[in-house]
Chains A and B, each alone.
Chain A
Amino acid sequence: MKKEVLLSANQPELGSALRKAASMTSADVAFEVRNAKLQGRGGAGFPAGVKWVLAGGASGAQKYVVCNADEGEPGTFKDRILIEKYADRLLEGMAIAGYAIGADTGLIYLRAEYPYLVPVIEEAASRLRQAGLLGRGIMGGKFSFDVEIRKGAGAYVCGEETALLESMEGRRGEPRNKPPYPVNSGFRGCPTIINNVETFIAVPHIILNGADWFLALGEGGDSGTKLFSISGDVERPGVYELAMGSKIGDLLDLAGAVDVQAVQVGGASGKTIPGSDRDRVLSFRDLPPGGSVIVFDGSRDMLGVLENFMEFFVHESCGQCTPCREGNSRLLDAVHAIRAGSLSGREALAPYLDLAETMKQGSKCGFGQTSSNCFVDIVNRFVLKADGQGGN
C-alpha cells in the first residue's frame, strides 16, 4: 500500500528531531533506532540500530558516521531523488547518528556518477551550519558534528561497505575480510557505522514519532516504509514509497505496468519473478528490496536481459576472489552458448547452475554471493521454461 513518510508533503521542522535526540541519552537514541527495526535501506537489510548500539559501545575516542551514497545497483535511483529533495534531512539523520555513537565526523561517499549532487549537499550543509545544526557546539551544547563529501570513482563494488572504506582510505575498492566488522574497526581502523541514504533520512522521523509508530507503518510484521525506484516497461517510471511488506502487484499498478512478463526486484543481484506472481511481498522476508524494480513486458527477450546483467557483473567484479572473478565470466560464456544454440536443456545447464551455487557459497562479499541470482532465476523460469523444461 502506498504510504508516504519520507516523501510526505508534510515534513517536520528541520532540526526538531536533532533537538529531541539531544535531550535523550546517546544510548537511548541508538536503542530507539534499534527498537524501530530499521533494516538497511541499501538492500542488505542489516538492522541499522544494531550497528549503532555496537559502535556506540565500541572502545575508541574517534568514531565515524559514513553515509553510503554509492547506489550503483542497476535500476536504482531513489537515493539520487532523496538527495536532490531531502539533503537537509539526510544531514540531520547523520548528525543524530553522530550523537548516538559519539562521533564528530560524518563522511558521505557519493558515487562519481552523481557529480551534480555535490553542490546540493554542500548547500544543505551550509544551511544546517547557519542554523546551528552542524558544526561546533550544536544548538549551544557540547555536541559537535560536521560532514564532508568523499567522491567515488566509478566502481559498483564500492557500495559494499568494506570496499567503500578501502576506497575512502585511498586504495582499490576491494572488500575486506570480516571480522573485524566496521562497528569495531572501520574507517582508519576506528569504530564506524555505514548506513544508506534512505536509512539516515528515516531516522529523524523515527526519533520524532517513536519506534512503535515506525513498526506500525509496515505490513505483515515488517516495519516502516520503503522507497522503490521503478523503471523499464512501465507507464510512470519513478520513485514510489510503500509500506514495507506491500505486495509487488500494488507497486506495479501504481507505476502502470501492463503485460508484465517478469519483474526484477533488488536490481541485477536481486530476484527475478514472473509477472503473474503479484502477491509476492516486498520485504526482507521474501523479495529483499534494495530499491530497484525493473519491469519487463511480454516483448522482452529475457536471455538478452540476462546477457546485459552478466556483462555488467563481469565488468564490475573487483577480481579479488576466484568464484566471483571467474564465475561471472563463465556464466556470461554460458549465456552466449545458449544464444548460439550450443547449450540447452536442464542436463547441459546443470554444471552452470552448480557453478552459480558455488559462487553464492564461496565468494568473499555480497557481490559474488548475489551476482548469480539473475542467472539462476532467468535460466530456470524463462529459458528452460521456453524449452518445455520448466523449472521451479
Chain B
Amino acid sequence: MSGRPVSQIIEEGAARYGRNQEAVLRILTDVDRELGSVSEEAMAAIAKCCRVSSAEVQSVATFYSFISTKPRGRHLVRLCRTISCSMKGSAGILAALEKDLGIAAGQTTPDGRITLETTSCIGLCDQSPAMLVDDTPHSRLTPEMACEIVRGLK
C-alpha cells in the first residue's frame, strides 16, 4: 500500500483512461490495488472525475469481488475455497490461518497487517490447494506452509 493521496491516484488514472464511464472500473481498480480499498470519499471523487453519479460508482465497486469498500490490511491473503482446492484440504488451511492470525475469513488483523479472504476458483487447480498473497500465487499448500508464508509478510 502506498501513502499517496487518493486524489493523485484518481487524477493519474483519468489522464490515462479518460473522464467517462469506461474509466470508472479502471480507476476503482487502481485505487483499490494501491490503497487496499475504496472509501466513500474516493468513490465520490471518482464519480465527479468521470462525470457519473456516485451511486453508479458505488454500484460498480460493490459488484466486483476484488474491490473492497471496507478498509483492508497491508497484505491481502485470498484462499481458494472452490472444489479442487476444497478436495485437497483448503478448509484445514483456512482453520490454521484463522487460528494463527486470530481472525476469521473476511477480517483484518488489529495491527492492519493482514486481511484474510476466501475466494472463488483462482485457476490453480492443478496445484491445489492454492492461495493468492497480494499478486503472488502460492500452491500445493499445507497448513504449516500457509502459516509460514503469512507470518513472513511485513
Contact = CB atoms under 8 A, between A and B. Distances in A.
Contacts of B22: 168-170, 188
A176 B21 CA distance: 17
B1 to A, nearest CB: 15
Interface in B113-137: 119-128, 132, 135-137
Contact of A300 (B50, B87, B124, B132): B87
Contacts of A315: 120
A74 B64 contact: no
A232 B84 contact: yes
Given A71-B123, A231-B128, A239-B126, A112 B63 contact: no
A316 B25 CA distance: 18
Interface residues of A, number: 50
Interface in A286-325: 292, 294, 296, 300, 305, 308-309, 312, 315-316, 318
B36 to A, nearest CB: 14
Given A72-B120, A151-B29, A154-B66, A170 B21 contact: yes
A75 to B, nearest CB: 5
A171 interface: yes
A76 interface: yes
A97 to B, nearest CB: 22
A310 to B, nearest CB: 11
A196 interface: no
A99 interface: no
A113 B83 contact: no
A80 B137 CA distance: 12
A294 B66 contact: no
B64 A153 contact: yes
A65 interface: no
A169 B50 CA distance: 12
Given A74-B83, A155-B64, 20 more contacts: A74-B84, A74-B125, A75-B84, A113-B121, A150-B26, A153-B67, A154-B67, A155-B65, A169-B22, A170-B21, A231-B125, A231-B128, A232-B83, A239-B126, A292-B125, A294-B83, A308-B81, A308-B82, A309-B83, A312-B83
26 contacts: A72-B120, A75-B84, A112-B29, A112-B64, A112-B66, A113-B132, A152-B66, A154-B119, A168-B22, A170-B26, A172-B60, A229-B125, A230-B126, A232-B84, A233-B87, A237-B128, A238-B126, A268-B83, A294-B83, A294-B84, A305-B83, A308-B82, A312-B121, A315-B120, A316-B120, A318-B63
